[in-house]
Amino acid sequence: FFLQDDTRIPLVDILNKEDSLLTNAFSLYPISSVERMFSVHYYYATIEYKKYSLKADTAGNMMMEACQELPNALLDEDIVQIGCDLVRGDDQSILDSQKNLIKYRRTTRYRPINHYQYRNWRYFDTNNLYNDETTEPHHHVGLFKYLSREFRRATDQATKEINKKYAPKRYKLRTIINGFVKNDPIFGNDYIIDGKFVDVKHTSAALYERVRIFQPIQNGYTVKPSKNDASELINIVVPISDVTQRCYDYLEMFEKIYSRDDKLRLVLVIFGKNDVHDIEEKINEIRQTTPKVNIVIVKGKGNFSRAQALDQGMMTLEKNDLAFLCDVDMEVNITFFDRCRKNTNQGKMVYYPEVFKMYNSRFLNPDKNARRKHSRFRGHWGGYAFGMLCIYKSDYTKVGGLNTKMMGWGGEDVDLFQKVLKSRIEVLRAPDVGLIHRWHKRSCSKASLTENNYKQCLSSRAEALGDKRPLGHFLYLLQDMYPDLKQKLQIPV
């Protein structure tokens, strides 16, 4: 038995030690006496006891920590913990009899002091989630898999509570009559569910019950950062359909950024011979002040489309190159490139930043415009647009790249995004304060666009005009200036 023990002094050392208990115990026979046998057994039983006692203490501490995390969000009052059973702090009969078993933990919930700090509950039913955090009044739960999974966990737990209450009868949830959920970033999700529960065997027998479920946030753990290489070269791929002042402005912006971060390479994909000549002249002008500026021109082949231009630019890169797919209308802050490097990991992660889309300057309020760069009066986050991304050439090729058969603008970005989602590559998507899309005129032609793309183009034009308040104000000003316009456009008073 003790030959299997590797936690103590080797057997050879014990046997060679003078006056050792084991030395005296051994003879020609395994055990010389019953007393010696019990001594050896006791010695190794003690080793086993210490080993498993340590494991039990560790498990006990983990259970106690887990048990005490739950009440922190369930009860508003001070509570104490007895094993894993909750009791309120005013239950003196239990406190007095269980003093040795009680672990005290004082808990107080965060209490908002005004309406800005209060976090609203959201309402949901069987099919939809209603909330006031977006411009869309409701979302269909089935369209968002994470919502359907989250609600399924809550409703399954509610059903378990009903079956526990009415055992041995078995019930299942038939309909959610009312559902409320509150997302607490500190504690977790709090649910109130009014449901219709029917008997599994007799579906005509129904219960109408309210159940409150709390799903606590799990303990955090550290994930090793993917990479932190500030010297990695980023290839900025920009498609250009025709050379305008916006192209020259973009080149001047790149020159300023390059003077502070020379680990950048601009790849311009240009269609049209005259356009190439004009851009080359501008680049030569820039090189007089910044000789080492890294700008490459790729002459586009075939008819222009955004997908074609970006794909041809990507094909000029090496397998392990990091690329940023960009548009000429973007205003890029140098801090963005640090996030582009850190938020991409070859074969593991791509970065899809949400850009801030500026409104038409005609509808901007100059006073509010000066207060804050990212404001509802200046623009909005383009959560519907997926045209900007940081991705490695190998990952771009692996997922299938852009669909070059899509002509014009629109649709190709969503198609690529869905390809990335279907792969094993993780997507990091978040608003990026370093990317601003400057407003510009946009033409929507039925002749060159499909019906679906035409509708998307019109929607994009309308959304980019301005915030609804100044737009409404402008509409009423037109009404005052042109009274006949009210009847023609059927503008309400």
pLDDT-derived band at 6, boundaries 50, 70, 90:
low
Lowest mean pLDDT, pick from 186-195, 413-422, 443-452: 443-452
Please report the domains of the chain, with CATH numbers, ordered by start residue. 2-67 (no CATH), 70-105 (no CATH), 122-216 (3.10.450.10), 234-458 (3.90.550.10)
Q: Is 95 exposed, middle or buried (0-12, 13-18, 19+ CB in 10 A)?
A: middle
Cα torsion at 240, 244, 249, 252 (round to 10°)? 70
What residues contact residue 448 under an 8 Å CB cut-off, 6+ apart? 407, 408
- Structural tokens at position 37: 């046998």
* pLDDT at site 92: 47
Arithmetic mean of pLDDT, 82-101: 44
Q: Does pLDDT of 152 surpass 60? A: yes
Return the amino acid letter for 42: Y
Distance CA 147, CA 214 (A): 16
Question: Which position has the higher pLDDT, 90 or 389?
Answer: 389
Q: Does pLDDT of 444 surpass 50? A: yes
Arithmetic mean of pLDDT, 210-215: 88
Tens of pLDDT along 310-356?
Answer: 999 999 999 999 999 999 999 999 999 999 999 999 999 999 999 99
Distance CA 322, CA 341 (A): 8
Indicate the average pLDDT of the chain: 79
Tens of pLDDT along 8-37?
Answer: 555 555 555 666 655 555 554 556 677 777
- CB–CB of 419/350 below 8 Å? no
Lowest mean pLDDT, pick from 19-23, 144-148, 181-185: 19-23
* pLDDT at site 287: 93
* pLDDT at site 269: 95
* pLDDT at site 254: 96
Return the amino acid letter for 130: Y
* pLDDT at site 258: 94
Distance CA 356, CA 394 (A): 28
Arithmetic mean of pLDDT, 419-448: 85
Tens of pLDDT along 373-383?
Answer: 777 778 888 88
- Structural tokens at position 454: 């035409």
* pLDDT at site 469: 72
Lowest mean pLDDT, pick from 4-8, 279-283, 468-472, 474-478: 4-8
* pLDDT at site 205: 84
Arithmetic mean of pLDDT, 208-237: 81
* pLDDT at site 327: 93
* pLDDT at site 352: 95
* pLDDT at site 220: 66
Distance CA 432, CA 382 (A): 11
Distance CA 187, CA 269 (A): 50
175 - beta bridge partners?
196
Q: Does pLDDT of 476 surpass 80? A: no
Give 396's DSSP letter: H
Arithmetic mean of pLDDT, 180-194: 86
Question: Which position has the higher pLDDT, 185 or 79?
Answer: 185
Arithmetic mean of pLDDT, 174-179: 91
* pLDDT at site 483: 72
Count of CA atoms in the C-beta half-sphere (13 A) of 4: 5
162 - beta bridge partners?
none
pLDDT-derived band at 52, boundaries 50, 70, 90:
confident
Q: Whole-structure pTM over 0.75, yes or no?
A: no
* pLDDT at site 11: 56
